[in-house]
Amino acid sequence: MLAAARAFAERGYPAVTMHDVAELSGMTKGAVYFHYANKENLALAVTAEFYTRLPAISDAVARLSLPPVASVAELLLRTAAALRDEPLMKAGARLEIERGLIDAELPVPFDEYTTLISAWLHSARATGDLAHETPPDALARVLVSAFFGAQHLSWVVNDRTDIIERTLEVLHAVVPCTRDPRHISPYLHGHTAA
Amino acid sequence: MLAAARAFAERGYPAVTMHDVAELSGMTKGAVYFHYANKENLALAVTAEFYTRLPAISDAVARLSLPPVASVAELLLRTAAALRDEPLMKAGARLEIERGLIDAELPVPFDEYTTLISAWLHSARATGDLAHETPPDALARVLVSAFFGAQHLSWVVNDRTDIIERTLEVLHAVVPCTRDPRHISPYLHGHTAA
Question: What per-residue confidence (pLDDT) applies to A126?
Answer: 94
Give the 3-state secondary structure of A39-63.
HHHHHHHHHHHHHHHHHHHHHHHHC
Question: What per-residue confidence (pLDDT) applies to B187?
Answer: 78
Q: A149 and B152: CB-CB below 8 Å?
A: yes
Question: What per-residue confidence (pLDDT) applies to A132?
Answer: 86
Residues of A within 8 A of B144 (CB-CB) are 149, 153
Residues of B within 8 A of A139 (CB-CB) are 173
In angstroms, the CA B42 to CA A161 distance is 31
Question: Tell me: the pLDDT tens digits for B16-67?
Answer: 999 999 999 999 999 999 999 999 999 999 999 999 999 999 999 999 999 9
If 0-12 CB within 10 Å is exposed, 13-18 middle and 19+ buried, where does residue A125 land? Answer: middle
Residue of B nearest to A108 (CA): B157
Taking a C-beta distance cutoff of 8 angstroms, is the pair B64, B71 a contact? Answer: yes
Question: Tell me: the pLDDT tens digits for A102-112?
Answer: 999 999 889 99
Q: Say whether pLDDT at A192 is over 50.
A: no
Question: What per-residue confidence (pLDDT) applies to B191?
Answer: 57
The answer to whether A148 faces chain B, any CB pair under 8 Å, is yes
Which is higher by pLDDT, A90 or A108? Answer: A90
3-state secondary structure of A37: coil
Give the 3-state secondary structure of A91-102.
HHHHHHHCHHHC
Question: What per-residue confidence (pLDDT) applies to A189?
Answer: 63
Q: Say whether pLDDT at A194 is over 50.
A: no
Taking a C-beta distance cutoff of 8 angstroms, is the pair B112, B55 a contact? Answer: yes
Question: What per-residue confidence (pLDDT) applies to B189?
Answer: 67
Which is higher by pLDDT, B102 or B1? Answer: B102
> Where are the extended beta strands (E) located within chain A?
none
Count of Cβ atoms closer than 10 Å to residue B168 Cβ:
22
Is domain A46-190 classified as CATH 2.40.50.140?
A: no
In angstroms, the CA B28 to CA A174 distance is 52
Residues of B within 8 A of A153 (CB-CB) are 109-110, 141, 144-145, 148
- CA dihedral (A42, A46, A51, A56) positive or negative: positive
Question: What per-residue confidence (pLDDT) applies to A193?
Answer: 42
Give the residue from A145, A155, A178 with the most B CB atoms within 10 Å of its CB, the best one to mutate: A145
CA distance A174 to chain B (A): 5
- Closest Cα to residue B121, out of A48, A173, A71, A90? A173
In angstroms, the CA A60 to CA A51 distance is 15
**Long-range contacts made by residues B118-124, C-beta under 8 angstroms, separation at least 24?**
B120/B68, B120/B69, B120/B71, B120/B72, B120/B75, B121/B68, B121/B69, B121/B72, B123/B68, B124/B67, B124/B68, B124/B69, B124/B72
If 0-12 CB within 10 Å is exposed, 13-18 middle and 19+ buried, where does residue B179 land? Answer: middle
For chain A, the average pLDDT equals 92
For chain B, the average pLDDT equals 93
CA distance B41 to chain A (A): 19
In this structure, which CATH number among 1.10.10.60, 3.40.50.2300, 3.40.50.300, 1.10.357.10 belongs to the domain B47-190? 1.10.357.10
Alpha helices (H) in B63-101, listed in sequence order:
68-85, 87-97
Question: What per-residue confidence (pLDDT) applies to B23?
Answer: 92
- Closest Cα to residue B173, out of B152, B145, B194, B153? B145
Q: B148 and A144: CB-CB below 8 Å?
A: no
Q: Report A:79-118 residues touching B (Cβ under 8 A).
A: 94, 97-101, 108-110
Question: What per-residue confidence (pLDDT) applies to A186?
Answer: 78
Q: Say whether pLDDT at B192 is over 60.
A: no
In angstroms, the CA A25 to CA A38 distance is 16
Task: Name the pTM for this structure.
Answer: 0.94
Q: Say whether pLDDT at A140 is over 70.
A: yes
Question: What per-residue confidence (pLDDT) applies to B194?
Answer: 39
Question: Tell me: the pLDDT tens digits for A19-67?
Answer: 999 999 999 999 999 999 999 999 999 999 999 999 999 999 999 999 9
The secondary structure of chain B in percent helix, strand, coil, rounded to multiples of 5, reads: 75, 0, 25
Task: Report residue A191's pLDDT band, with 50, 70 and 90 as the boundaries.
Answer: low
Task: Report residue A187's pLDDT band, with 50, 70 and 90 as the boundaries.
Answer: confident
Question: Tell me: the pLDDT tens digits for B96-153?
Answer: 999 999 999 999 889 999 999 999 999 999 999 998 889 999 999 999 999 999 999 9
CA distance A12 to chain B (A): 7
Residues of B within 8 A of A138 (CB-CB) are 169, 172-173
